[in-house]
């Protein structure tokens, strides 16, 4: 249950929005409250949000605890193989979201057997590079910096997009109807984003990953490759804080893009729901 504010003809109106499950389906309804929120509902809303936040924290803590318990039982040699499989799945999905033609099985053949399919050389090279960068990122814990981000980008695209690899943009970019910030503000905005990541370690890492990713994508600091670098940032934060990674699946990219368009608060809610849903076996 939550209270929704809507502006109609410059006036604000409040509605009580709530969901319930019936016959296996979730139904959402709204009830009009008026131009002001009743005092008792304000208190109830605050208490419900507090309780919801507490339950969310308990779930995320359980995911970390039980994942680590399971992961530490695995022998080191098997952990290495598991990381390779994770890297294959992550590389396939993140590159396919950005238009790669390489299939999941071809990703495995390229990275593990060094077999190149009859596909564009650009897609093959970017698959190889992403796999390598992702594995190295998981194994090497370092504080996020401009140097880290630029190095990731350079390694990802040094063989396919030499003119932009490892360089922040100095021109305007747009994504659909969204126009990214002026290029002259990119370095300042990225530095602020990096400070946010490194100075909010008390925030739950899942929330931190969501907010950092949303901020990074809004800046769009590169001419191309922002999504791939942004999703590396997500999993750098998660993995090095002891949490399992999150793969944004190609087939579910639509909800991911829609959530990004709704802004940081809505994206964070979406991200945490998605994360808990993917890792519910650890709860």
Question: What whole-number distance in Å separates Cα of residue 217 and Cα of residue 190?
Answer: 10
Q: Which one is catalytic: 130, 213, 220, 279?
A: 220
3-state secondary structure of 161: coil
**Active-site residue 114, yes or no?**
no
Token pair, residue 104, equals 């999941």
Question: What whole-number distance in Å separates Cα of residue 73 and Cα of residue 64?
Answer: 14
For residue 100, give the DSSP letter. Answer: -
Place of tokens 């502006």: 7
3-state secondary structure of 7: strand
Question: What whole-number distance in Å separates Cα of residue 232 and Cα of residue 202?
Answer: 21
Question: What whole-number distance in Å separates Cα of residue 171 and Cα of residue 215?
Answer: 19
Contact yes or no for 257/227 (Cβ under 8 A): no
Question: What whole-number distance in Å separates Cα of residue 274 and Cα of residue 258?
Answer: 13
Contact yes or no for 181/189 (Cβ under 8 A): yes
Residues tagged active-site: 220
């Amino acid at each position: 249950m939550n209270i929704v504010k809507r502006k109609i003809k410059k006036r604000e109106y409040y509605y009580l929005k709530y969901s319930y499950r019936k016959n296996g389906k979730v139904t959402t309804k709204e009830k009009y409250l008026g131009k002001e929120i009743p005092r008792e509902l304000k208190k109830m809303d605050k208490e419900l949000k507090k309780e919801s936040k507490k339950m969310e924290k308990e779930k995320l803590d359980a995911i970390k605890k039980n994942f680590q318990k399971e992961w530490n039982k695995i022998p080191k040699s098997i952990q290495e193989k598991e990381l390779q499989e994770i890297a294959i799945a992550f590389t396939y999905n993140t590159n396919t979201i950005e238009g790669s033609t390489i299939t999941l099985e071809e990703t495995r053949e390229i990275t593990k057997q060094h077999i190149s399919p009859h596909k564009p050389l650009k897609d093959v090279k970017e698959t190889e590079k992403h796999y390598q960068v992702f594995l190295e990122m998981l194994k090497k814990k370092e504080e996020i910096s401009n140097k880290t981000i630029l190095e990731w980008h350079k390694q990802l695209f040094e063989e396919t997009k030499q003119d932009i690899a490892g360089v922040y943009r100095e021109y305007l970019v747009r994504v659909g109807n969204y126009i990214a910030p002026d290029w002259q503000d990119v370095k300042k905005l990225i530095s602020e984003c990096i400070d946010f990541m490194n100075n909010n370690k008390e925030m739950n890492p899942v929330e931190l990953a969501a907010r950092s990713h949303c901020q990074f994508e809004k800046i769009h600091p590169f001419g191309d490759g922002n999504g791939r670098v942004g999703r590396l940032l997500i999993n750098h934060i998660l993995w090095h804080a002891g949490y399992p990674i999150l793969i944004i699946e190609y087939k579910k990219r639509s909800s991911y893009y829609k959530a990004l368009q709704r802004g940081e608060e809505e994206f964070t809610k979406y991200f945490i729901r998605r994360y808990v849903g993917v890792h519910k076996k650890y709860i």
